[in-house]
Structures are given as structure tokens and as C-alpha cells.
Amino acid sequence: MMALALAVPIALAIPARRNANIARAICLAFAALLIGVWIAWYVYFTSHGWLNANNQWPMNLCDWAAVAVIVTLIRPNQATYELSYFWGLCGTAEALATPDVNFDFPDGQFVVFFLGHALIIASVLLLTFGMRMRPHPRSILRVAAWSLVYLAAAALTDWALGTNYGFLRAKPHQETLMAVLGPWPWYIAELVPIGIASALLVYAPFFVADKFREGALKRNAPIPR
């Protein structure tokens, strides 16, 4: 699933870059798939009696990333693309690598979890390579501000409903990267520098490319007489 999340959008990026109509059709197809998987998740959990306050509200960071991705796929814009890029590659990618699921393939919970998260990553890559969208230095600051908004919203929801959105009240039961962090509440503070480092890491390719391009322009600039 992780390999497909990388290979499929990169393959589709080739025809998307060559034809705007094809690009539009692929983006709308990805948006429809994401919405369909989200509906399937609710149907599956409801049919099994698993739906409760801890999972019925879209208050996980991956839920917010999914909304940003869907909006960007339907109507490409820089604001929601930035959120999609950083939340998707920093948060959803980690969730895909260390999934918080109770059952293995081919259980329905596993399928909808991996499809939903893989589609977020695939959509971000499609928008980046196929639609030629990219983050900028100020994108990090804007996403950081929106991340604080999410943190406040998740904390308020957890306080009001006694839930654990954003894992602000307890670590996941499954083994994730959070297992190596300190106990509650210290791991929440530790996530801040980790988040900043992750954002800088996924922005690094664009930083390097920009510096390389600037160097090339300087080398090719005409010598003043």
C-alpha cells in the first residue's frame, strides 16, 4: 500500500503534466475516491457497532488533512495545498507507516484505513508533481499557525467529550513512533520540535532546488561591461 501510494501518483503525474483536462479528471477521481473511502469507513464502523465519540468526529489531524486534500483536488489553491503537503507528508505518512488499527489485511478496518491514508499521500504527490504545485518558505509559518488551531480544537473536543483526538490525552495502543517519547503530558511538548523538524525535512528538496536554480542563474548571467 505504501509503495502504491508513491508509484501511482508519480505515474499519473506524467499525463497530468501534459494535458490539463486529464489532470482535472485525475484530481476529481482522487477526490471522489477519498470521499468514498470516508463514507465506507463510517458505514463499516456503524455496521460493526464500533462508532463512538472517540472516532465519529473528524478531529484527527489526518481528517483535517483529508479535507484540505479534497478541497485542493476539487479547486486547486495554494492555501489548502500547503496544509495538504505538510500535514500529509509529516502526519499522515507517519500514520501509514505505523497504523493505529486493530486488525490486519484483509479486514475492512485495515482496508479503509490504508486506502484513506494512502490516498492522502498519493493526492499530495499528484498535486506536487502533476499539477506543479509547491510550498514556499512562508508556507511553514502558515501551516504552523493552522496546526495550533487544530491543537486547540482537538484539545477542546477532548476536554468536552472525554475523547483522545490528536492523542493529546494518551499515546496510541499500537506501537508507533510516539512509543519512544516521554510519558504524558511531556510527549506533547516533544512533538513540537519533531513537527518543526519534519516540516523542514519535507521542504528541504524545494530549498535545495531553489538554491541550485539561483546558482545556475548567476552562472549564466551576462557579464556587465
- For the chain, domain boundaries: 2-220
Number of helices (H), then strands (E), in the chain? 8, 0
User: Are the CB atoms for 139 and 145 separated by under 8 Å?
Assistant: no
Residue 223 has a pLDDT of: 59
3-class state of residue 168 by DSSP:
coil
pTM for this entry: 0.90
pLDDT digits (tens, 9 = 90+) for 21-30: 999 999 999 9
Residue bearing cell 505515474: 11
Is pLDDT of 224 > 60? no
| Cα(111)–Cα(31) distance, integer angstroms | 18
Residue 143's identity, in one-letter code, is V
Residue bearing cell 551576462: 222
pLDDT digits (tens, 9 = 90+) for 62-89: 999 999 999 999 999 999 999 999 999 9
User: Are the CB atoms for 150 and 36 separated by under 8 Å?
Assistant: no
| Cα(27)–Cα(66) distance, integer angstroms | 14
Three-class HEC string of 163-202: CCHHHCCCCCCCCCHHHHCCCCCHHHHHHHHHHHHHHHHH
* Residue 88: partners with Cβ closer than 8 Å, 6 or more residues away: 65, 69, 120, 121, 123, 124
| Cα(181)–Cα(176) distance, integer angstroms | 10
